[in-house]
Chain A
């Protein structure tokens, strides 16, 4: 089992944002995490990659690096594309000095090819479109060959065609790395095109777990409300 989450609880300002949730992601599987804004999706990812501390529970991931793709790409705007991608290889204590400049150049161009952006090494993030920034951030995330990849709303704010492209690259990276992935998203297309399974969060709990097809067919009030994006139903937006 590649990501194993047991009884995970996270409290912010006395509110249980995540309340005793458990789920698994198998080797090479992609799990979608869906739910309304503020339901704790990003919190799940940040707990798994260690950016924040859990209040209770257990998270076990397989050996190897955990990569995170941030919602707004979070590229280093003072570094060009090549230096963004090679950042971990240059700056991480256990990796620096391991690669020559030649090696780094080779790795960067190979990762850029993988996300369909060959030849933009010298550009700066501000010179790229949102979709291109996102793909560069994919390349940066996978540069250390991670075994776990977390995506925070990878298609939010992109036009439909860029979204489709990003979804294709998520699938492609999954095949290339055989990593276990978690994709946080609101978008139906992203769920159906990238995920093997999904969980739906509401009020700190998992209110649905199953395959995308099962969600579309399911007769529960939560899934129906999510699929039809209806205001009517058991889920209320708090803010």
Chain B
């Protein structure tokens, strides 16, 4: 039993070490500008377009859930003027970025991890290396960069969509008008919140892509290895998102 625990600990340390190391190498190539334009475009399309429907659905539904619970209650207590404000603050500060993060992990993170893990176990990554091309530059750079670029865009669209679904929910469940909702919502959108939200989405997007690529890259041992790597990528990404969120909350809102 202790040995099993020890193995898990070793695995944890190697995984973390690999993520950090690969992250630095990726960053180095990005700073040096060694970026494949066409490949980056392809990855951006994959990151943004394919995940948009699920991201919008998750953020939209979360907004409906939250709004339907608080709106009528607030109106009853005489706080109808603050419904839009509350919903927009919640979405811009938390729901938009975090729920988009979860959507991206399930859509993009898992597919990045299994794609790269498959390349690893079928020796495609060895082949890249033997052909004297750096696999980190070829595989990680466009994927991580696409996460950094596309995640903020995705979060902005999803958040706007969330505020709008909040409006629809409010007018359907209370007497409040759209105008009352948006007048109040507008007040709740602070420049600072927006900047933190964008910063957070950059961190989320980059981290999810990096962790997913890295877990795939470390894979070994056939189809089972691909499954394990994908699993690891999803779990690590989820935990990383929550840790980032905690760091951002402590840094900016305490």
Whose C-beta in chain B lies nearest to the C-beta of A67?
B130
Chain B proximity mask over A77-89: 1 for CB below 8 Å, otherwise 0: 1000000000110
Whose C-beta in chain B lies nearest to the C-beta of A150?
B130
CA distance A88 to B131 in the complex (A): 6
Query: Are B131 and A91 closer than 8 Å at their CB atoms?
Result: yes
Query: Are B126 and A70 closer than 8 Å at their CB atoms?
Result: yes
Chain A proximity mask over B117-131: 1 for CB below 8 Å, otherwise 0: 001001110111111
Query: Are B130 and A49 closer than 8 Å at their CB atoms?
Result: yes
Whose C-beta in chain A lies nearest to the C-beta of B134?
A93
Q: In which size bucket is the chain B interface? A: 10 to 19
Shortest CB distance B113–A (Å): 15
CA distance A217 to B128 in the complex (A): 41
CA distance A92 to B127 in the complex (A): 13
Shortest CB distance A94–B (Å): 8
Given contacts A72-B122, A74-B122, A74-B124, contact A92 B132 (CB under 8 A): yes
CA distance A4 to B118 in the complex (A): 34
Query: Are B131 and A70 closer than 8 Å at their CB atoms?
Result: no
List A contacts of B138 (CB < 8 A).
91
List A contacts of B129 (CB < 8 A).
50-51
Query: Are A66 and B133 closer than 8 Å at their CB atoms?
Result: no
CA distance A91 to B139 in the complex (A): 11
Chain A proximity mask over B128-155: 1 for CB below 8 Å, otherwise 0: 1111110000100000000000000000
List B contacts of A77 (CB < 8 A).
122, 124
Overall SS of chain A's interface: loop
Q: Does A215 contact B (CB under 8 A)?
A: no
Give chain B interface residues in 97-130, CB to chain A under 8 Å.
119, 122-124, 126-130
Query: Are B127 and A68 closer than 8 Å at their CB atoms?
Result: yes
Query: Are B131 and A92 closer than 8 Å at their CB atoms?
Result: yes
Query: Are B123 and A70 closer than 8 Å at their CB atoms?
Result: yes
List A contacts of B132 (CB < 8 A).
65, 88, 92
CA distance A74 to B129 in the complex (A): 12
CA distance A71 to B123 in the complex (A): 9
Query: Are A51 and B122 closer than 8 Å at their CB atoms?
Result: no
CA distance A71 to B127 in the complex (A): 11
Query: Are A74 and B133 closer than 8 Å at their CB atoms?
Result: no
A66: which of B36, B119, B126, B130 is its contact (CB, 8 Å)? B130
List A contacts of B130 (CB < 8 A).
49-51, 66-68
List B contacts of A68 (CB < 8 A).
126-127, 130
B127: which of A50, A65, A74 is its contact (CB, 8 Å)? A74
A/B interface sample: 26 pairs, CB < 8 A: A46-B126, A49-B130, A50-B130, A51-B126, A67-B130, A68-B126, A68-B130, A72-B123, A74-B122, A74-B123, A74-B127, A75-B127, A76-B119, A76-B127, A76-B128, A77-B122, A77-B124, A87-B128, A87-B131, A87-B133, A88-B131, A88-B132, A91-B131, A92-B131, A140-B131, A144-B131
Pairs of residues from A and B, 9 with the lowest C-beta to C-beta distance, nearest first: A74-B123, A88-B131, A74-B127, A91-B133, A68-B130, A70-B123, A74-B124, A92-B132, A49-B130
